[in-house]
């Protein structure tokens, strides 16, 4: 071996090719099959896409770095299932570009936080977490309620997601801005379009507590309230196991 290597280390190009070849194998073997083996992601015909308001909320969640302290991946361990709910399935994040599984729980897992608390609790907690949970160390996000939500380019956001494989229809893309407004304004004429396009089960509420002006708080709470509720595949899997 030393003789072979002595030759190899006399050639810069040879060495470069050797490094690329040797290092490429691992990733190729582990990643490529994930796209081709069908069992990797379960089937969930009821799985719906995020509404434009939820997309905007998800982008705020990313922007504020929430993923640094909150995971969205319940592992197949007894204590996690008892604490957070049925373990996460791959299909539940199949429209998540990028995924937000997280790597650290300074705060609790949020994979199934949707519907666990009221909108009012979420808003109060985001404005000052210590008003609701005195021992919390979470930052305050009071400005979310002050900031208006930008909706004029949500159609472009949905279109970009369609390009990477999320099944948004032309109808959804064309009405993205109106749907965002309608979802947080149940009494407005735009509200019916949201349920028509995204299903009857979609939350249509004044998430931040006040109808009318659309805020970043509306979007983030709408997103938090849909976490774990895009499909009931995980609940079905859990029931089947029992």
Partner 1 sequence: MVSGLTVSERRLALVIAGLIAVCGLAMAIVGRNDLIGAHGFIVLAFSLGVIALVATRYLDPEPPEDRLSQYYDDPTKAGIVLAMIWAVIGMFFGVWVAALLAWPDLTFDAAWASFGRLRPVHTSGVIFGFGGNALIATSLHVLQRTSRARLPDQFSPWFVLIGYNLFCVLAASGYFMGVTQSKEYAEPEWYADLWLVIVWVVYFLIYIRTLQRRKEPHIYVANWYYMAFILVVAILHIVNNLAVPVSLGHAKSYSLFSGVQDAMTQWWYGHNAVAFFLTAGFLGMMYYYLPKRAGRPIFSYRLSIISFWGITFMYMWAGSHHLHYTALPQWVQTLGMTFSIVLLVPSWASAGNALATLNGAWHKVRDDATLRFMMVAAVFYGLSTFEGSFMAIRAVNSLSHYTDWTIGHVHAGALGWVAMITFGSLYALVPWMWKQERIYSPALVEVHFWLALIGTIIYVFAMWNSGIIQGLMWRTYNDSGTLAYSFIDSLVAMRPYYIARTVGGLFFFAGAVVASYNIWMTIRMSRRAEAAGRDTVDVPASAALVPGE
Site for partner 1 in 51-110 (CB under 8 A): 59, 62-69, 71, 73, 75-77, 79-80, 82-83, 87-109
If binding is defined by CB under 8 A, does position 163 make contact with partner 1? yes
Instruction: Decide whether 44 or 191 has the Cβ nearer to partner 1.
Output: 44
Q: Helices 52-63 and 154-163: crossing angle, nearest 10°?
A: 90
Bridge partner residues of 148 (DSSP): 215
Q: Name residues contacting partner 1, limited to 213-242 (CB under 8 A).
A: none
Distance (Å, whole) CA 235 – CA 92 = 11
Task: Single out the residue of 26, 240, 241, 242 in contact with partner 1 (rule: CB under 8 A).
Answer: 26
Task: Single out the residue of 47, 138, 211, 238 in contact with partner 1 (rule: CB under 8 A).
Answer: 138
Instruction: Decide whether 83 or 213 has the Cβ nearer to partner 1.
Output: 83
Distance (Å, whole) CA 240 – CA 82 = 17
| 8 Å CB contact between 117 and 124 | no
Closest separation between CB of residue 114 and partner 1, Å?
17
Instruction: Decide whether 141 or 198 has the Cβ nearer to partner 1.
Output: 141
Neighbours of 99 (CB within 10 A): 14
Structure tokens at 197: 């396009």
Nearest Cα residue to 184 out of 198, 196, 194, 171: 194
Distance (Å, whole) CA 27 – CA 19 = 14
Closest separation between CB of residue 32 and partner 1, Å?
10
If binding is defined by CB under 8 A, does position 174 make contact with partner 1? no
Q: Is the peptide bond before 36 cis (omega within 30 degrees of 0)?
A: no
Instruction: Decide whether 191 or 219 has the Cβ nearer to partner 1.
Output: 219
x-or-dash string of contact with partner 1, 181-210, rule CB under 8 A: ------------------------------
Task: Single out the residue of 19, 196, 201, 239 in contact with partner 1 (rule: CB under 8 A).
Answer: 19
């Amino acid at each position: 071996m030393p003789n072979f290597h002595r030759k190899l280390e006399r050639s810069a190009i040879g060495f470069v090719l050797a490094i690329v070849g040797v290092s490429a194998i691992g990733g190729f073997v582990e990643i490529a099959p994930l796209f081709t083996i069908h069992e990797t992601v379960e089937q969930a015909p009821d799985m719906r896409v995020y509404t434009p308001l939820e997309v905007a909320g998800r982008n705020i969640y990313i922007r504020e770095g929430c993923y640094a302290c909150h995971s969205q991946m319940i592992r197949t361990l007894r204590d996690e299932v008892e604490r957070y709910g049925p373990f996460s399935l791959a299909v539940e994040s199949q429209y998540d570009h990028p995924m937000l599984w997280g790597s650290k729980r300074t705060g609790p897992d949020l994979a199934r936080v949707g519907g666990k608390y009221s909108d009012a609790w979420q808003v109060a907690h985001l404005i000052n977490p210590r008003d609701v949970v005195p021992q919390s160390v979470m930052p305050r996000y009071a400005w979310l309620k002050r900031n208006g939500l930008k909706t004029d380019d949500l159609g472009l956001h949905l279109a970009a997601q369609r390009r990477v494989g999320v099944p948004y229809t032309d109808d959804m893309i064309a009405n993205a801005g109106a749907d965002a407004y309608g979802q947080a304004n149940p009494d407005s004429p735009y509200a019916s379009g949201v349920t028509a396009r995204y299903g009857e089960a979609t939350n249509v509420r004044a998430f931040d507590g006040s109808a009318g002006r659309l805020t970043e708080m509306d979007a983030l709470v709408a997103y938090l309230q849909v976490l774990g509720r895009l499909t009931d595949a995980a609940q079905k899997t859990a029931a089947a196991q029992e």
